[in-house]
Amino acid sequence: MACQHSKLKEFIVEKIVEFKEVVIVAKKRANGEGSIRQRKDGRWEGLYTVNYKRKSVYGKTKEEVRKKLNKIENEIDSGVYVENTNISFGSWLDEWLEVYAKPTVKLSTYGSYEGYIRNHIKPEIGKVKLKDLRADVLQKFINKKLIDGRCDKVKDEKTNKLVNKKGGLSEKTIKNMYNMIHSALKQAYKNGLVYQNVSELITLPKQKRNEMCVLSLYEQKALQEAVQDERLGIGILLSLFTGVRLGELLGLKFEDIDLEAKTIIIRRTLNRLKIFDNPDKKTDIVIGEPKTDRAKRTIPLQDFLIPLLKQHHVNIIREKLLVGNLYNDEGFVICNEFGKYLEPRTYQDFYKKMLKKADIPNTNFHTLRHTFATRALENGFDVKVLADILGHADASTTLNKYAHALPDHKKTSMEKLSCLYVS
């Protein structure tokens, strides 16, 4: 009897120990911790729970799996755990561009992003695993691109071969590229692919204020005289006295002009852009909406422009009658003799021809917009009103761009308060 009693006691103790072990394991699993077992194929498997889902890690030995589980459990406890994915940074940018960016950005912006990814990011850090991307990797990439990051080609005079142009990217280009990277990593964080957006930890270079090219009053007058009696001269005058961009000017139609109200409405742009859905064409003319809602705007016209616009419309009607059925009436204000829109490069060539005629140093078409804004501030324009006319997001953008024209405007504004002083 004593022997049987002893065996019964040992059996009860053994079962109590087993029960305690089961309770401990169950408790650990409930807390997201893992358990280890050996599979039939000889490998060891570690099981753990994250976001109410059971997941596995594998190894050749039990100790190898235990280390992996400990690492994962520490990451979960620290809030830095991410899915074990091998997607590279470059592959994620490709996916983000097509799935998240393409439906929401303009084609021109999409083209810029595609170029940043293909020409700059992939060759340098594209193979880095997304989950392993660190702030210092991004910081070194940004620093390098600022010093020696150009990838546009020029012909080497000695070898006659195409080589990368020397020099770094501009601060503005760096900022645009950073904004794209930040958006892509923000989406990766939302998708649980990274535990933080490491782009928020890097330092960007300060943007230098580029010297802005503005026509002098003498040059402006000379250009106005040069475009008189020129078939396409009205476009230069419109930009010089309204500040419209080249794409906005070429997208302007007669239906956008209200001669009675003396206004024009900017509701479309015309640009030649890189395209990606036609293997037979690298670029195409794209007519679309302005980039932002603020860019869709109504601009008042000065009185002297009204008769010039009326005469221009009459001239277009005459051309239409002369051409007859060959005329392609799309309603564009700036068009060729057959009514077809003008290519941006074609009008830029005309602009350069007019500069030469006026004996003005060569400069780009955007100078007309800068000249308009500068003259406006010099003549006491309210900055908020000017921002609306230019289509800027807010007045601070206008102030930052055209601060050079503000000193005299400030002085004049202060002098208006002199009448309040009573001696």
Taking each helix axis as running N to C, give the angle between helix 233-242 and helix 305-323, from 0 to 180 degrees, rounded to the nearest 10.
150
Count the Cβ atoms, other than its own, within 10 Å of residue 61: 11
Most confident of 64-68, 80-84, 213-217, 281-285: 213-217
- The answer to whether residues 43 and 58 touch, using CB atoms and an 8 Å cutoff, is yes
Does the pLDDT of residue 300 top 50, yes or no?
yes
Query: Given this model, what pLDDT does residue 378 score?
Result: 86
Does the pLDDT of residue 30 top 60, yes or no?
no
- pLDDT band at residue 91 using 50, 70 and 90 as cut-offs: very high
Give the model confidence (pLDDT) of 355-370 as tens digits: 999 999 999 999 999 9
| Amino acid identity for residue 23 in this structure | V
Rounded to whole angstroms, the Cα distance separating 81 from 69 reads 12
Among 92-101, 169-178, 187-196, whose mean pLDDT is lowest? Answer: 187-196
Most confident of 251-260, 275-284, 395-404: 251-260
Rounded to whole angstroms, the Cα distance separating 122 from 161 reads 24
Q: Which residue has the higher pLDDT, 376 or 55?
A: 376
| Long-range contact pairs involving 66-69 (C-beta distance under 8 Å, separation at least 24) | 66/36, 69/33, 69/34, 69/36
| Strand 162-164 with 153-155, pairing | antiparallel
Among 101-105, 130-134, 221-225, 416-420, whose mean pLDDT is lowest? Answer: 416-420
Rounded to whole angstroms, the Cα distance separating 308 from 312 reads 6
Among 20-24, 122-126, 228-232, whose mean pLDDT is lowest? Answer: 20-24
Does the pLDDT of residue 99 top 60, yes or no?
yes
Choose among 219, 214, 232, 221: nearest CA to 350: 232
Question: pTM of this prediction?
Answer: 0.70
**Structural domains in the chain plus CATH codes:** 28-75 (no CATH), 89-201 (1.10.150.130), 217-267+293-417 (1.10.443.10)
Choose among 96, 288, 81, 44: nearest CA to 196: 81
- The answer to whether residues 334 and 348 touch, using CB atoms and an 8 Å cutoff, is no
Q: Which two tokens stand for residue 202?
A: 């890097």
Q: Which residue has the higher pLDDT, 85 or 95?
A: 95
